[in-house]
């Protein structure tokens, strides 16, 4: 579908033409910068920018955001041409609601002018730096947590013009310390386990390994820089030409930076901000001393269930998550997974019932307006399953409980990794460990038991306490046997 670009482009001059309910809560240029955000993707625009605008609108403060794109310049150019405005459409079965967001006080393209980004990070007015840069940009080995030997990062640490996220942060903190610009909080908003601790580990390693850092930088960072942990949640599909066209119809002007998302949004933040912060609690964020229980809640009751739907749905030939939820008996099986396995595996945050949270998750996944493809959710399973499912299984077994439904998720992933659906159509298996996993499956191809044993021997995928558990092994073999012989629908129909 072609993008319809009308004569009018979203910008400050167009605000009066917008429907009253679609106008921004704050006007760009009226709120000084207090936040720098690294990562100008759709998720930031539909999540942190929305929360921050609402916080400033409710509680005030100099918390405009300068958003920095670490790679592509296209979105920077689109937003700059629109006076730092963009729109977010909340999509549901009942329809959509589109609103323009005015949280951004500026945009920058880091590769074009890294010195300008460093100067922002050293600005005393900036007291919060948030990040949505994806796991890869942290340059950390997912198993050891050590910085990678990437050549670009090595050049950054040797004193070259910063081109990586660790390099930008390091150079910015060096400049900030030299300017005596005051404390700052660095806030990871990426879907990483213990994201605050990971960011801190990355930062400390970068400071330790860098050449020519000023004397006393380690002590300055320890005294002036915090890395609060967070949990972020909102389903934000990639923008398409249809996203832009729908925003144009809703607003009457063209927005080339439009994003769409589900109505639901959650942000849990550890309240550790030495230089102050926006009043995010007035926008509905949860401020806490420990984001860990919230992270486990999301990983196990939402992300783990999401993965289960993706693998079973893809095997059954369903294109989207919402379509997959219509497979007979799948909702009942997922409710048993949540109630019998997930809810029993950990202590949730105070006041939260895991079963209720899981029911809300199923309602969100069933939103027909969010076209989240099963194959998209199914990628990188070897990286996702440990936090989403395998830790649930390990905790249940340590407590002497069955993990039968978690074993079904593992079996569905193994069946998906074989590369074909129930009707024989090929399925793409995208995973950083695709080679070893496929080799293991080939080695054990003579039987489901052989396949399970071969993959369970991969310690980069299956933790030892799960791999050596005979009951878990037997459950996974039983489910995999059923899926291979009967397919998804018949297996779910027979599940008890």
Instruction: Give the pLDDT confidence of 35-68 residue by residue, as tens digits.
Output: 999 999 999 999 999 999 999 999 999 999 999 9
Beta bridge partners of 288: 270
pLDDT at 1: 37
Mean model confidence pLDDT for the chain = 95
pLDDT at 7: 54
DSSP string, 195-245: HHHHHHHHHHHHHHH-SSPPTTHHHHHHHHEE---EEEE---PPP-HHHHH
Statement: residue 2 has pLDDT above 70: no
* Cα distance between residue 257 and residue 9, in whole Å: 11
- For the beta carbon of residue 459, count every other beta carbon within 10 angstroms: 10
* Cα distance between residue 171 and residue 182, in whole Å: 15
* Cα distance between residue 453 and residue 49, in whole Å: 47
Backbone angles phi, psi at 363, to 5 degrees: -65, -40
b/e per residue, 273-284, with b = 16+ CB within 10 A? bebebbbbbebe
Query: Any alpha helices (H) in 238-320, and if so which ranges?
Result: 241-251, 292-298, 304-315
pLDDT at 143: 72
Residues 6+ apart with CB under 8 A from 82: 9, 10, 11, 255, 256, 257
Statement: residue 69 has pLDDT above 80: yes
* Percent above pLDDT 90 for the chain: 91
* Cα distance between residue 415 and residue 479, in whole Å: 10
* Cα distance between residue 432 and residue 421, in whole Å: 21
Statement: residue 407 has pLDDT above 90: yes
Statement: residue 275 has pLDDT above 60: yes
State the helix-helix crossing angle for 470-493 and 448-456, rounded to 10 degrees: 130
Measure the CA angle with vertex 84, ends 79 and 88; round to 5°.
Answer: 75
pLDDT digits (tens, 9 = 90+) for 308-361: 999 999 999 999 999 999 999 999 999 999 999 999 999 999 999 999 999 999
Statement: residue 3 has pLDDT above 50: no
Higher pLDDT, 412 or 143: 412
pLDDT digits (tens, 9 = 90+) for 132-142: 998 889 998 87
pLDDT digits (tens, 9 = 90+) for 415-473: 999 999 999 999 999 999 999 999 999 998 889 999 999 999 998 899 999 999 999 99
pLDDT digits (tens, 9 = 90+) for 154-193: 999 999 899 999 999 999 999 999 999 999 999 999 988 8
pLDDT digits (tens, 9 = 90+) for 302-313: 999 999 999 999
Backbone angles phi, psi at 35, to 5 degrees: -130, 135
Parallel, antiparallel, or unpaired for β 86-92 and 259-261? parallel
| CA neighbor of 385 nearest in space, from 351, 321, 431 | 431
pLDDT at 334: 98
């Amino acid at each position: 579908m072609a993008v319809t670009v009308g004569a009018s482009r979203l910008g400050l001059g167009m605000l009066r033409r917008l429907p009253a309910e679609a106008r921004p809560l704050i006007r760009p240029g009226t709120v000084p910068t207090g936040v720098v955000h690294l990562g100008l993707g759709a998720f930031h625009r539909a999540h942190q920018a929305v929360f921050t605008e609402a916080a400033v609108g409710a509680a005030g403060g100099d918390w405009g955001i300068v958003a920095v794109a670490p790679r592509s310049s296209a979105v920077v150019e689109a937003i700059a041409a629109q006076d730092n405005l963009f729109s977010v459409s909340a999509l549901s079965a009942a329809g959509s609601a589109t609103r323009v967001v005015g949280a951004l006080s500026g945009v920058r393209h880091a590769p074009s002018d890294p010195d300008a980004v460093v100067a922002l990070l050293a600005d005393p007015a900036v007291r919060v730096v948030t990040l949505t840069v994806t796991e890869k940009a942290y340059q950390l080995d997912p198993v050891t947590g050590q910085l990678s030997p990437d050549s670009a990062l090595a050049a950054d640490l040797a004193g070259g013009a910063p081109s990586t996220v660790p390099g930008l942060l390091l150079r910015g903190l060096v400049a900030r310390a030299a300017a005596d610009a005051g404390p700052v909080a660095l806030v990871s908003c990426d879907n990483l386990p213990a994201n605050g601790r990971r960011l801190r580990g990355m930062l400390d390693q970068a400071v330790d390994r860098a050449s020519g850092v000023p004397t006393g930088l380690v002590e300055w960072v320890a005294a002036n820089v915090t890395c609060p942990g967070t949990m972020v949640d909102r389903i934000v599909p990639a923008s398409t030409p249809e996203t832009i066209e729908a925003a144009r119809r809703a607003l009457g002007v063209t927005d080339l930076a439009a994003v769409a998302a589900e109505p639901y949004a959650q942000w849990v933040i550890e309240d550790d901000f030495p230089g102050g912060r926006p009043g995010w609690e007035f926008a509905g964020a949860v401020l806490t001393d420990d984001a860990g229980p919230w992270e486990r809640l999301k990983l196990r009751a939402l992300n783990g269930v999401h993965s289960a739907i993706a693998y079973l749905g893809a095997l059954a030939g369903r294109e989207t998550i919402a379509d997959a939820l219509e497979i007979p008996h799948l909702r009942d099986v997922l409710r048993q997974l949540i109630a019998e396995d997930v809810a029993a595996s950990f202590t949730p945050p105070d006041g939260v019932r895991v079963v209720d949270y899981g029911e809300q998750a199923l309602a969100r996944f069933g939103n027909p307006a969010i076209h989240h493809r099963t194959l998209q959710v199914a990628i990188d399973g070897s990286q996702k399953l440990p936090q989403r499912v395998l830790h649930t299984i390990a905790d249940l077994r340590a407590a002497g409980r069955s993990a039968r439904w978690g074993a079904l998720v593992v079996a569905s992933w193994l069946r998906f990794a074989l590369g074909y659906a129930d009707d024989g159509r090929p399925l793409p298996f995208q995973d950083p460990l695709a080679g070893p996993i496929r080799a293991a499956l080939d080695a054990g191809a003579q039987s489901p038991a052989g396949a399970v044993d071969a993959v369970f021997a991969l310690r980069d995928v299956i933790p030892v306490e799960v791999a050596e558990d005979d009951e878990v092994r037997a459950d996974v073999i039983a489910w995999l046997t059923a899926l291979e012989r009967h397919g998804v629908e018949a297996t779910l129909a027979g599940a008890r």
